[in-house]
Amino acid sequence: MVLVIDIGNTNITCGIFEGDEIKTTFRLTTKLQRTSDEYGVFICELLRTNHIEIEDIEAVLISSVVPNINYSFQNGIIKYIGKKPLLVGAGTKTGIKIQIANPKEAGPDRIVDAVGAYYLYGGPILVIDFGTATTYDLITEDGAFTAGVTSPGIRISANALWHDTASLPEIEIKKPSSILAKDTITSMQAGLVYGYMGQTEYIIRKMKEESGLSNLKVVATGGLGKMISEEVEEIDIYDPMLTLKGLNIIYKKNK
């Protein structure tokens, strides 16, 4: 079995693969002050809770956008699982060509998503990750990562709305029944969700137009991606496990 780990700004998402099958997934919050022992113990306990024996873990692969925790996290894996993890980065075989102005600026999370989207669904493809930030990345038919857009995630927008305005409350992010809101909470929900849907539709259309790829498939992933995908016709596929699947593909390429 292979343990794949996606360290994001908000959550650490872990998955166990046996071949191409996802056996189980679990999450931790991303906290900078944890020690290697804490990370190691948490991971081991979550594995046991999910009926996975530590001895059955053959390899560990990590994608991280939080460099400050990489050292303690990797040491926790080494100490408690007994495997030296492979950290996705320069020199990692991915099968994707990075053809942007500065390839080092392509974060490992975006590369992993690109790998998952391209090898699972083919190209040309646009992959959208609705995470802490929302990213739109274009991969051509021959597997080249050629362009990307980054925008504030919907939770960042929501936090700014209620933290930077004295009289607006913190709300649940969900689509109201109508955009014709009649109270403060639903008016905020309408602005956030319908506004984000409009942004998503426009960016997809504009990227198709400027790339000339009218046949571009669109796959979405990420926590709030399901809600947006259900409402945006331009999104063809929603795959909540895309990042973990991409990590598993990269593991097999580097095995």
Write out pLDDT tens, residues 173-182: 899 999 999 9
SS3 172: coil
Task: Give percent above pLDDT 90 in the chain.
Answer: 80
Alpha helices (H) along the chain: 36-49, 67-81, 108-121, 154-163, 184-211, 225-231, 242-254
For residues 154, 107, 217, 248, the Cα torsion angle rounded to the nearest 10 degrees is -110
- Cα–Cα distance measured from residue 88 to residue 26, given in angstroms and rounded to the nearest whole number: 20
**Of 93, 96, 85, residue with least CA distance to 6:** 85
| pLDDT tens by residue, 101-123 | 887 778 899 999 999 999 999 99
- Tens of pLDDT, residue by residue over 125-160, are 999 999 889 999 999 999 999 999 999 999 898 888
Catalytic residue of the set 6, 37, 56, 109? 109
* 6 has catalytic annotation: no
